[in-house]
Structure 1
């Protein structure tokens, strides 16, 4: 008589691996042995399949297996009854491998009565014929779960959420692709953390936490079923490919420093540096994702992965709003402090804090380094120039990370105390001096009407004193410019028209708000913030000088490529991506048809107007530019006040820095998607500023705070609802904008288009 113990073992006996069963059965056996909630069940071993063929109980016929002696087969197997309803699942050795899962490739039979197990086994074995190579044909027989909810979950090391796809009842239609189910993110919980959700979601959180405890920190695909009291583990296997998730993205401070549509070259350059940029944080904490993109390109624009930055905060136990407060946008995650995670991350946070304390000295070293790089060599080509540009951009942004973090704490404290605008208005960084150092020129122009006449006509005065003052200014600041972070954008020494036009517009004197006596009690906090602010703006100033050197190199190389016929026109260089430009060194020639297609694509991209945050799977057609209708008179639009005071006037809405017309004594209020140092000429011509997106620490916010202009930032959607000519009131102290009257004296908006 055959002994049935040869043919099956109980799940949880921890014998599966020793008996050589496949990964699927071995994983469930391991899970049950570790105390995870696996339904009662058995592993029917491949030895039964082999013995059945030898004894003739099971025979191959017409491409399938047929049971011929069911009674003898059942007596030999002699399976104990584990449940009145059973699931008979394939667990073949070729399933659930590290690189290939074959999920759903073989059959499972559900709701099987104990007397029908033999037939179900035969049916499952028949599906093994779909895979020609020899393999073990183990089968799992387990109790059916009376599922109220069931589905699959992906738990990945690179994410702080588990992604679940769930449906009511059994999950066979879901995993078979016959129903879509509901997809949602479930926050991970770690050891010693309780569930954050209620109902089955909370029970699933606990199950997935315990799966990670037993199987280790890895990428796992988990099948589950919840009966209303307990969440059961039905399967766990390696996740062989990362899941593309519906993550959140933001243009963030890119909106402040880049044109509405950046050049194709700059977008591709930023994307090419993305991994090195996020490695700044990974240097402090190796637990952070290594393969998750930090920047992705949508409609020709480089967007920051907000979900990734928020997950970094969540891993460290820090509030997710710290990210959006620094770079702009809104906090869609809403996690506060998590003390347990904060404690477990203390080493990384101490290292990060130490880097912040050293950031000013580090920035000074970087400024000295920037003065030495970017020079052309005798063997200069596109590859060497772009490699230098990538190196400079990466070094600049990584240094900015450290300085911004050093600024954020003191600035947040001063804002909470109501002293930030008071101290900032008494300070001047090198970026603010871009405007204040124009005062000698402006004073001279105001005193000489003949010079004003020339400037009004768009000319450059021949007045010797003016020319000397102008050349002195360009020597100090000529390498700066509008949207200067885009290498394709001209610098002031190349295109000074907006700067010159601002000289004949009077600039009102701004008086700093009074400084209360108790402000001196927190002067050390301001001192720390000021040091980092100065260092950050000096770093940017030095980097823009290096950018200008690199820009001139690219222009010379483009002219050479144009002379050899590799490029139709020198200015076409900005339409090409990094890899395409490097191909020019190898003899590639850009055709007019290629450029025509690229220009059409850029024109389509220019029509998009992305919100401050969006998700990967959003309908992008909804982002095509359109202004909202409706009467907004009397409404208040909330934001973040950067300064004190109130300003009232006509709205001047622009995408790029453009001066308002000087045809009225009524003041203008600038309304823009984002601002940076390139908007300084416009700041001199307006009474207040409203910005759609921007954080406390953006370059534009710092300048506005130091200038003391009544300014409000983070007014979501403002450029879509306020139109040029509307009368508005900026209430900076309250962080709000009020619409007083629509269309006061129609004004045509002649916005300068972004450079391609």
Structure 2
């Protein structure tokens, strides 16, 4: 073919650079037997480059555009408008125009054509760019064809296309535009088909929109369309819309809107047989491309024509499991209060750890997150009864989402227990056996013995440190893979019974308060300033550090601009540094292994990036008085003691009051003594992870010095097994590292579902509180009280800036977020449950909290004045 034009038959998936996404996909469609594609050709990106090269101003305009951010809409509009006007003023080079006209004559000069943009950053698996450039229909004649080709080239710089590229990180100067010229089909009915349900994500359900006339009316949102959903050849939903308008071609070119006759407006656009035929055709196309497709179709003369197919880019990836047996998966990140993606190294360490603890808990990867396979539980009657309640304490919306799955009776009936390798007892069985003997004794004994968890943690961390230090490179990495989880068994044998006892005591306190007194659970008061909570203690120590820094404003100013690598050394050069540095070093020795998102070993720890702590320290100094954090903690302890005394006093007035008061007193004492210990398992886990990270980074630095990798952090994109092999051979695949880094950036943009099935159907869960005020957001009430204040929406701890009275609004909180709780007057999170970190610490600090508020960080804007009702689970945006 010619240099500037390619026939569809000559194009395939490898021609993206020349034909753009739309052109490459059309070429692939032509190769599928039985799929009718209207004939046409593609004007290549070389033609666009030749056209743009004629301009002496284009490069400067692109440079100006590159300096405009995605949110600067006025600048986008101004610069984009100038670029479009400039391009439309240029003449198409004669050789390019000649080839386009020759191809048009070969295709049939007497026909009408659709002229569509086809960018090299369009219809891609990671970003569709659908609708960002322009399409022109029913184009007739040589002059109109060339004119509309030029308009397509200029539409590469529509306001929406510029903003979309900027938001998704595409360089404006590197995107090229081809143009598809395709013979028009004048259909009776046209529309769009998704081979997977775009709303639920279910890969087994095809979703079809259909309307009269040209599909452009539907694509552009001018008309309502019929909606049909098809599963396994059966129509499972049929929603017929009132189709009042349609777009039809004009005899001389162009299109017009026409009103659909009243008698046809409620007519089903496609008969049932045609719906099933179209769905089957969609499955063939999906199979060819190997991924769910977004397909534009038209029906004329009883035949379906496919005018475009592109990947559906909005679907959350399926779990990476072997086989195609039905399954149900729960987000591990929502349980652990960290919903960001985890890099491959972090993922592989968790896979090894969880398999060692219980081979039924091996996580599966989906969208860079870990999911736990709960198919076994839901395949049994007992599991179906207990699963929602089991997850409700971690994240209430997970419990609701599982309940939604259970209502899919046909799907649940298809679940079968997984075949797994035989081994010892499951972790759950061992835990229940261990606790069954310990809990009665702990609840009934007069003197409560609190385990020395700090000493046990120090012992286990020290043992791991020594084992890693005495092993050479490859051997120490293998030790991490094989033995990292060993400390957990010993630790949980010691701490498991008291933590479980605290949970049992909390349940009994709530139930007895309702039964004996007719009152709500008093746990919010009893939890205040509970002893032994390592996360709360960390917050207090950070407050002490802030008080050391408080008298030295020059030191705080230095810390706000300091570099991590020289942070501590630089303190010696500012006033007060001699006092501050020892205090900071002491804090980092004990808590330097922590950070937000700490379950991912690849996240930078506070000891590596101490500047992460500066915003929390600054907020503490600005929002509290010296020693106020300690006084608040002491006040909370006094409040809890008074609440326990008052509870016993009221019980004594009831029938058998003496016995009831003694029982409640024992339960309250047991709860307060042990509830703080629930933070220690994660504290130990993070401490052990940090020792492993130190060893891993020593090997990574050696690999970087050898040239096997570009920088030490490259190992984060290798699995532990791949890293071990790289240390053994001195070689690592840099292409794999680069590809995974790019994939991780894609995963960061995804919002993970709480629960999903093997079919891709996603379940978010929901709340239905009574008497919800108009416009209010519902969540789970986890810490009682009501507060009004300024919302500070914080998605990254290092960007936090809280002042006295501010309400923290965050996607989640784990122990790394604890420093902010001292400054916050209330808490709202998107993820959480009654016993998760944010809820427990909020109760300890006595601040109202609502968790599980879906999309809270998007629906609440930074600076909004909001009201948080931690008793009812309601958040209102006041103004």
Question: Normalised by the size of structure 2, how large is the TM-score?
Answer: 0.49
User: Given the alignment, which residue of 671, 690, 708 partners 1:566?
Assistant: 708
Does residue 323 of the first structure (1) align with residue 391 of the second (2)?
A: yes
Match in the other structure for 2:45: none
Match in the other structure for 2:508: 413
- 1:558 CA displacement: 0.7
User: Given the alignment, which residue of 769, 787, 807 partners 1:647?
Assistant: 787
Q: 1:353-378 CA deviation, whole Å, 9 max, x = no partner?
A: 32663997697896333431233244
Q: 1:38-89 CA deviation, whole Å, 9 max, x = no partner?
A: xxxxxxxxxxxxxxxxxxxxxxxxxxxxxxxxxxxxxxxxxxxxxxxxxxxx
- Check the 8 A contact 1:246/1:616 in 2, yes or no: yes
User: Given the alignment, which residue of 468, 472, 496 partners 1:380?
Assistant: 472
Match in the other structure for 2:30: none
Change (3 A) 1:356 1:494: farther
1:304 aligned counterpart, secondary structure:
strand
- 1:564 CA displacement: 2.3
Match in the other structure for 1:581: 723
- Check the 8 A contact 1:263/1:574 in 2, yes or no: yes
Which structure 2 residues correspond to residues 466-485 of structure 1 after superposition, within 5 A?
Answer: 466-485=580-599
Match in the other structure for 1:529: 671
Give, in whole Å, the separation in 2 of the partners of 1:313 and 1:401. 27
Change (3 A) 1:276 1:363: farther
User: Given the alignment, which residue of 262, 265, 273 partners 2:345?
Assistant: 265
Give, in whole Å, the separation in 2 of the partners of 1:669 and 1:653. 8
Match in the other structure for 1:353: 435
- Check the 8 A contact 1:309/1:323 in 2, yes or no: no
Q: Aligned Cα RMSD in Å? A: 4.0
Give, in whole Å, the separation in 1 of the partners of 2:432 and 2:548. 53
- Check the 8 A contact 1:479/1:491 in 2, yes or no: yes
Give, in whole Å, the separation in 2 of the partners of 1:574 and 1:269. 11
Q: Which has the higher helix share?
A: 2
Give, in whole Å, the separation in 1 of the partners of 2:547 and 2:430. 52
Give, in whole Å, the separation in 2 of the partners of 1:654 and 1:612. 21
Change (3 A) 1:529 1:501: same
Give 1 or 2 for the bigger CA radius of gyration: 1
Match in the other structure for 1:251: 332
- 1:608 CA displacement: 0.8
- Check the 8 A contact 1:568/1:590 in 2, yes or no: no
User: Given the alignment, which residue of 516, 519, 541 partners 1:437?
Assistant: 541
Match in the other structure for 2:749: 607
Give, in whole Å, the separation in 2 of the partners of 1:732 and 1:408. 21
What runs of 5+ residues in structure 1 fail to find an aligned partner? 1-176, 183-240, 280-289, 337-345, 624-631, 742-756
User: How many residue pairs get matched?
Assistant: 477
Match in the other structure for 2:55: none
Change (3 A) 1:308 1:676: farther
Change (3 A) 1:331 1:308: farther
Change (3 A) 1:711 1:321: same
- Check the 8 A contact 1:652/1:668 in 2, yes or no: yes
- Check the 8 A contact 1:659/1:682 in 2, yes or no: no
1:712 aligned counterpart, secondary structure:
strand
Give, in whole Å, the separation in 2 of the partners of 1:534 and 1:613. 29
Change (3 A) 1:494 1:252: closer
What runs of 5+ residues in structure 2 fail to find an aligned partner? 1-230, 237-321, 408-427, 443-449, 514-520, 649-660, 765-771
- Check the 8 A contact 1:445/1:504 in 2, yes or no: no
Change (3 A) 1:382 1:482: farther
Give, in whole Å, the separation in 2 of the partners of 1:558 and 1:178. 50
- 1:381 CA displacement: 2.0
Give, in whole Å, the separation in 1 of the partners of 2:599 and 2:373. 20
Give, in whole Å, the separation in 2 of the partners of 1:347 and 1:604. 39
Match in the other structure for 2:869: 731
- 1:488 CA displacement: 1.3
Q: 1:645-702 CA deviation, whole Å, 9 max, x = no partner?
A: 222233333333234346xx67432222211110123323332211112122223332
Give, in whole Å, the separation in 2 of the partners of 1:584 and 1:718. 43
Does residue 446 of the first structure (1) align with residue 550 of the second (2)?
A: yes
Give, in whole Å, the separation in 2 of the partners of 1:688 and 1:454. 30
Give, in whole Å, the separation in 2 of the partners of 1:529 and 1:312. 33
2:777 aligned counterpart, secondary structure:
strand
- 1:296 CA displacement: 1.4
- 1:437 CA displacement: 1.2
Match in the other structure for 2:604: 490
User: Given the alignment, which residue of 526, 534, 538 partners 1:423?
Assistant: 526
Change (3 A) 1:409 1:710: same
Which structure 2 residues correspond to residues 458-469 of structure 1 after superposition, within 5 A?
Answer: 458=562, 461-462=571-572, 463=576, 464-469=578-583
Give, in whole Å, the separation in 2 of the partners of 1:364 and 1:466. 25
Which structure 2 residues correspond to residues 530-545 of structure 1 after superposition, within 5 A?
Answer: 530-545=672-687
Match in the other structure for 1:556: 698
